[in-house]
Amino acid sequence: QKALERHAKNLRSRVQDLSRKSYWEQFDQSPEFAVLFVPNEALLSAAVEMDKAIIEDALKDKIIIATPTTLVALLKAIAFGWQQNQLAENAQKMIEMVSDFYERLSPWLKHLSKLGDALGGAVKSYNESVSSLDSRVLPSVKRIHELGFKDKAALPEVAELESTPKSVLKNSPLSELTE
């Protein structure tokens, strides 16, 4: 009986010693408890028979008394919590990366759209020049040839361009990025 009482007293003393060390205060992100491992279920059971409040008092002191069975369960719960925390951190990083990507994509799309407009304008100006050449200059060249002026080599033909740049943003989900 005295040995059981001493065992319960020693366990309570160990709980109090461990609580005073406040290991959880050493880390920014840490559960606010420490685990006191008792290597045998019977040892904890014997201490609880002598001191009914030992587990409850230990919890108040931020100490979890764990036996092999409860330690495994606790470790699995902690591992699951860490896994969930890692998933949440990864999700946050992905959100930040996507946000950064959109911030980079928007100006680039504006530049690309501006370039497309400039190319479209260049094609339009080129075609207007070819049209002016066809309607205003080449008729005069034809008349000069008809008068017998053929000392020079034949002039190369110039054709209009038929393709224009596609709009990157027209009818695209990306169009709202440049607005």
Question: What tokens does 14 get?
Answer: 């160990």
The overall pTM is greater than 0.75: no
Which has more pLDDT, 169 or 51? 51
Interval 48-95: pLDDT, tens: 999 999 999 999 999 999 999 999 999 999 899 989 999 999 999 999
Amino acid at 176: E
What number of helices (H) and strands (E) belong to the chain? 5, 2
Average pLDDT, integer, range 101-121: 88
pLDDT at position 87, please? 95
Phi, psi (rounded to 5 degrees) for 37? -90, 130
pLDDT at position 71, please? 95
Average pLDDT, integer, range 136-163: 80
Question: Would the pLDDT of 178 be above 60?
Answer: no
